[in-house]
Every structure is written in C-alpha cells, then in structure tokens.
Amino acid sequence: MSSIAAYYAGKNVLITGATGFMGKVLLEKLLRSCPEVKAIYILVRPKAGQSTQERTADMIKCKLFDQVGEDCPDFEEKIIPVSAELTQPHLAISPDDAKRLLSCINIVFHCAATVRFDEPLKYALQLNVMATQQLLVLARQMQYLEAFIHISTAYANCNRRYIEEIIYPPPVEPKKLIDSVEWMDESIIQEITPKLIGDRPNTYTYTKALAEYVVQQESSNMNIGIIRPSIVGASWQEPFPGWIDNFNGPSGLFIAAGKGILRTMRATNDAVADLIPVDVVVNLTLAAGWYTAVHRPKTTLVYNCTTGGINPFHWGEIEYHVVSSFKRNPLEQAFRRPNANITSNYLINQYWITVSHKAPALVYDFYLKLTGRKPRMMRIFNRLHKSMLLLEYFSSQSWEWTSDNVNMLMGQLSPEDRRVRTFHRALLS
Ligand SMILES: CCCCCCCCCCCCCCCCCCCC(=O)SCCNC(=O)CCNC(=O)[C@H](O)C(C)(C)COP(=O)(O)OP(=O)(O)OC[C@H]1O[C@@H](n2cnc3c(N)ncnc32)[C@H](O)[C@@H]1OP(=O)(O)O
Ligand SMILES: NC(=O)C1=CN([C@@H]2O[C@H](COP(=O)(O)OP(=O)(O)OC[C@H]3O[C@@H](n4cnc5c(N)ncnc54)[C@H](OP(=O)(O)O)[C@@H]3O)[C@@H](O)[C@H]2O)C=CC1
C-alpha cells in the first residue's frame, strides 16, 4: 500500500462541495485509491426537492463511480451524507451532526464555492468567505483534526502577473466588507461592486482572494494547506479519460464549437492557456492532505496547481485541436461543421461574429418561424457571447505562477505514490 493510502487508512474525512465537479472526483479517487479510509462525510444541501440522502444516492450512480464500484463494491457504506447549507448560520448543520463531526474528523477538504463570474457580491461573500470562516470555526473544534485543505484558485490574485505560492494581502479587510454589506441594500452593493473588486475581473476571483486571507488569519493551531488550481478541465486518466460534468471555463465553449455553433472567439493566440485535468488536481490535493497532516509544516503552504510553467499550451493552438478533435469525434445533432477562428483583433472578431454567428442565427430562426417552430438560435448566441465576454479576461493574457511547493511535494512522494498520483512534470511533459 502506498504511504499516502496508508495514511488515509482508518481516517475520517470531511469534504464540502462533494456534489460538484472537483468534489466528486476527489471523493471517487479517495474511495478507490485509499480503500482503507474509514469514512467520508460529505456536506450536501437538499436541492430541487431532493433530500441530502437522495442527492447522494443519485450522485454515486454516475459513470464516474463505476470503477470504484467494481474495485470496492461496498464503497457506498463509507460515504456519510450530512445535510448542510453553507450560507446559513452554523452551515445549517444539526447539533447532532456537528457533534459527530467534531468527535471524529481527521482531514477536511473544503471545495464548496460559487464559481460564477457574475455572482452578486453579497452571495459570493456569503459562500466563498463567510462559509469558509464558519467551517474553520467548526474545524478548530475537531478533536482529532490533522489537516484542513482549502481549495482556492490560481486566479485569486489574477490582478498580478507573477503569482507566488504565498497568501497576498487582501484587497480589503474581509470583516469590514462583511459588516458593510450586511446592512446595505442589494442595489447599493451592485452599484459599488466594480469599485470594490477594483482590478479583479469578477466577484469570484475577488472573494476567493479574501477567503485565502481568512484561512490564513483563522487557522490558529491547525495544519492548513491551500490548493490553487488553474483552469480545471476533463480528466486525463482517472477514473477514465474525458470525464467532466459542467460547462464551466472553456468546456462549454468547446462543446458549442463542437456543435458548430461557436466559430469565433477573441483570445490572444500566444497567451498561455493554463488548463489542468481534474484528476491531476485531485492527485495533488490528496497528496497535500497527506503531507500537511504527516509533516505538519510550520506555515500554511500554498500549492499553485498549474501547467503553464511546465508544459505551456496556448490559446492559438485551440483552433487546430477543436477542429481535429471534433472531426475525429463528431458530436450528434451538430448545427454546422465545426470550425474555429481565434483572434485578438476586436474588429476581425466582430466581423466573424456577424458573418458566422448572427447572420446564420437570423436565417435559421426565420426558417424555424416559417416552419411553425420557436426561434432559438439568436438566444443561444446571445448567451454564448455573454459567456465569452466574461471569459475573455482569462484568454487574453498570461500569468506566471511559481511552483516550488508543488515540486517539493512531488519530491516527498514514494515511487509508488508517484505512480499512483501523477501531478507533475512526468505527467505534464
Ligand atoms: C472558436 C472556437 C473556440 C473554442 C473554445 C475556445 C475557448 C477559449 C477561451 C476560454 C477561456 C476560458 C477561461 C476560463 C477561466 C476560468 C478561470 C478560473 C477557473 C476557476 O477558478 S473556477 C471555474 C470558473 N467559473 C466558471 O468558469 C464559470 C463561468 N460561467 C459563469 O459564470 C456563468 O455561466 C456565466 C458565464 C455568467 C453565464 O451565466 P448565465 O447566462 O446565467 O448562464 P448559466 O451559467 O445559467 O448557463 C445557462 C445554460 O448555459 C449552459 N452554459 C453555461 N456556460 C456555458 C458555456 N460557456 N458554453 C455553453 N453553455 C454554457 C449552462 O449549463 C446552462 O444550461 P442549462 O441547461 O442548465 O440552462
Ligand atoms: N472548475 C475550475 O476550473 C476550478 C475550480 N476551482 C475551485 O474548486 C472548487 C470546486 O469547484 P467546482 O467543482 O468547479 O465547482 P462546482 O460549481 O462544480 O461545485 C461547487 C460545489 O459547492 C457546493 N455548494 C455551492 N453552494 C452551496 C451551498 N450554499 N451549500 C452547500 N454546498 C454548496 C455545490 O453543491 P450543489 O451541488 O448543492 O450546488 C457543489 O458541490 C471551488 O472552490 C473552486 O473555486 C479552482 C480553480 C479552477
């Protein structure tokens, strides 16, 4: 058994955001690669009329869990859903559940967040900052806690071009901001948000930066690690290649391109597209949990989980890969043959939007109307163009992240663990 798997044996783990994209992969990898783990408690909110238990039962039916179902048929018994709502006081965890968590949890992985770029600031603060504070309060009371791993983002400090594995001073003292927005009318907050977020592009990156500072300030005597993934995409190897369950980041645009809908996008061709597979991020996250608990670093270590410094890929290369990939694996019911044009020139992009997006959409909607059907193409393009405007900030420039802590962590792994948990040069080159 690898030393990381041996560490997690007999441990009780708490995961927030386990129903999310990364949380699911983390849950699955922990179950499959650390079969002796004692229990994994997952905070799951009731949603869309489904209870916490029903959501969890549905979740583990998804294809992602097929392999672990074969390897460890009783894996479901190790998953303990706990009802929670992270924007509520005490995370809406019942006293009995809280008591149980305090008495047994050894490692916490905090993945839950809102990742929407257009999230109203008050909600983003509630979920990404205040819920993190609340979770830290809970974690501080856990009698047997050995590590608390917070999932941040490589873009928390995207207002800097060179980002080190350190926690930077926050744009504002979180408590002051939280106290202010508590009494402010939503419309006032909306109005001052652009001034508050300053040189950050959205409330997501702004609140993730605040959360890192909160984690550092409220860590007291806990062993804490912070993981900063860049743009997380589909799985590379595990549990099988190509698994993803959302349209976030470039994923939705790749699908839109594969359907022949999206044909032009504004991006800087030689800007680094720092994409990283979700299983690689999860491997690093589990390794960081092990290292934090076993080696107990004196300070909170930050891990920039990025690829641009190791094996850079560029947005300009996307055109070729989009066209060739969808030629090999065409999507069903495509609107048109996929084609891709990436340009940094605003006017050229506007020309192609008119010629390749708006004109065909108008013609097709007119045809739908003529044939008695509801027009829909223009609405789809409008949504896509909104997404693209919000994503352009990230595709029009490059960042440089240091990775000393990631390199150090890789160096600490046994040969067996390096084989099982690739997250480094060997993988990315
Ligand atoms: C010419 C060919 C080009 C080929 C592709 C080129 C790509 C290059 C550029 C890509 C740059 C990507 C940079 C990503 C940077 C991420 C950096 C940070 C990463 C992180 O730390 S966390 C992840 C970041 N968060 C996100 O990525 C979320 C971003 N999305 C949003 O905030 C919202 O979706 C958005 C954009 C505000 C739109 O909101 P809204 O209009 O309310 O739409 P919904 O989100 O409700 O979605 C409605 C509907 O559409 C589906 N959907 C959502 N996004 C996309 C998309 N990008 N493409 C296609 N479809 C999308 C969504 O699933 C919903 O469907 P329903 O059926 O549920 O209604
Ligand atoms: N995806 C990416 O490219 C990157 C992600 N990250 C970080 O990774 C983490 C996970 O991201 P990702 O998996 O993509 O996000 P998802 O949106 O897929 O998942 C978010 C998770 O948070 C949970 N959640 C949201 N709101 C609440 C709430 N009020 N109460 C309880 N749970 C809640 C969701 O639960 P529910 O199912 O109930 O909605 C879901 O499990 C985040 O911290 C994000 O910042 C960092 C860099 C890149």
What angle do the packed helices 251-258 and 377-395 form, to 10 degrees? 130
Both structure tokens of 332: 């069903």
- Closest-CA residue to 224 (of 107, 316, 116): 107
User: What are the backbone dihedrals phi and psi of residue 190, each rounded to the nearest 5 degrees, phi first?
Assistant: -55, -40
Which residue segment(s) compose the domain that 138 sits in?
4-230+274-308+399-427
pLDDT (0 to 100) of residue 147: 98
Ligand 1 atom 4: residue of nearest CA: 254
pLDDT tens, residue by residue, 344-377? 999 999 999 999 999 999 999 999 999 999 999 9
The whole-number average pLDDT for the span 223-233 is: 98
| Atom of ligand 1 minimally distant from the CA of 342 | 1
> Span 151-171, mean pLDDT?
98
Tokens of 380: 């789809």
Of ligand 2's listed atoms, the one at least distance from the Cα of 246 is 18
Asked whether 318 lines ligand 1 (CB < 6 A), one says yes
Nearest CA owner, ligand 2 atom 38:
45
CA of 215 to the centre of ligand 1 (A): 28
Ligand 1 closest atom vs CA 115: 25
Say if residue 130's pLDDT is above 80: yes
User: Is 247 a pocket residue for ligand 1 (Cβ < 6 Å)?
Assistant: yes
Confidence of residue 390 (pLDDT cuts 50, 70, 90): very high
Tell me the mean pLDDT in the region 118-136: 98
How far apart are the CA of 202 and the centre of ligand 1, in A?
14
Output the CA 117–ligand 1 centroid distance in Å.
9
Give 46-78 pLDDT, tens digit per residue.
999 999 999 999 999 999 999 999 999 999 999
Question: What would the two tokens of residue 164 be?
Answer: 């080190």
Amino acid identity of 155? Y
Stated pTM of the model: 0.96
| Sign of the Cα pseudo-torsion (86, 235, 56, 32, in order) | negative
Residue 61 lies in a domain: yes
- Does the N-terminal peptide bond of residue 241 adopt cis geometry, omega within 30 degrees of 0? no
Is pLDDT of 155 > 70?
A: yes
How remote is the CA of residue 100 from the centroid of ligand 1, in Å? 38
Q: Could you tell me the CATH number of the domain that includes residue 99?
A: 3.40.50.720
Same domain, 216 and 359: no
Count CB atoms within 10 A of the CB of residue 185: 9
What would the DSSP string read from start to end of 179-211? HHHHHS-HHHHHHHHHHHHTTSSSHHHHHHHHH
Beta bridge partners of 276: 232
How many angstroms separate the CA atoms of 284 and 13, rounded? 16
193 and 342 belong to one structural domain: no
Give per-residue pLDDT as tens, 6-16: 999 999 999 99
Domain count, the chain: 2
10 located within any domain: yes
- Looking at residue 415, its pLDDT comes to 87
Q: Is 221 exposed, middle or buried (0-12, 13-18, 19+ CB in 10 A)?
A: exposed
Question: Are residue 13 and residue 149 in the same domain, yes or no?
Answer: yes
The pLDDT mean for the chain works out to 95
Cβ pair 240, 28 in contact under 8 A: no
Ligand 1 centroid from CA 388, angstroms? 8
Q: What is the pLDDT of residue 427?
A: 46
Is the pLDDT at 425 greater than 50? The verdict is no
